[in-house]
Structure 1
């Protein structure tokens, strides 16, 4: 029996569980391409409680998404604009965790 490395097990879990549309993820449109992503709604709720107001009637909306590196492409640079489900966001943070990107998006929205 061949033992799998930790990285191999993590990649298998990313594909089979975490970014699986039958389990945790849904299909979303990112920059004109449909792909499975996980939106961390709990983190979004916490961040919205602390929503930064830029001016009367405008606030900053944040989203934390997880997406497979092989689906998304190169890790997006901070400051890059991304269209998520038809809405424009700015990348404020992005990390690659063993082939799974964690991307924090921010966009101005009106109340």
Structure 2
């Protein structure tokens, strides 16, 4: 087994395991079509405008977020400036990076996006 295969197996079994680090979130790649919504395991970090992490975001306006998701689970690579819905909230994609099959997606949401 190649090292790359071992790394990918660990990513799937540990990082995107909902009993370990990941949580299920609703990802909708077409914000105007609910049929594109899927529940996908991912790691989601929300930030306030000043860059501080939020401990809880129920009822709080989230303006910046970072998502780590398996490219295999998402099944496509989003584009910069694309709009998506995550857990029902509209976000604009600021940047996307792919490292060893893990997408790091930076999102922003504000009154102008809504």
TM-score by length of structure 2 reads: 0.75
Aligned residues of 1:79 and 1:92 also touching (Cα < 8 A):
yes
Aligned pair count? 96
Q: How does 1:23-102 map to 2 (within 5 A)?
A: 23-31=20-28, 32-40=37-45, 44=47, 48-50=49-51, 61-102=63-104
Unaligned runs of 5+ in 1: 52-58
Structure 1 or 2: larger helix share? 1
> Aligned partners of 1:101 and 1:25: how far apart in 2?
14
Unaligned runs of 5+ in 2: 29-36, 53-60
Q: What secondary structure is seen at the aligned counterpart in 1 of 2:76? A: coil
Question: Runs of at least 4 residues of structure 1 off by over 3 A?
Answer: none
Say whether 1:9 aligns with 2:6: yes
**Structure of greater Rg:** 1
Equivalent residue, structure 2, for 1:56? none
> Aligned partners of 2:9 and 2:24: how far apart in 1?
19
Equivalent residue, structure 1, for 2:55? none
The 1:50/1:99 distance shift into structure 2, 3 A limit, reads closer
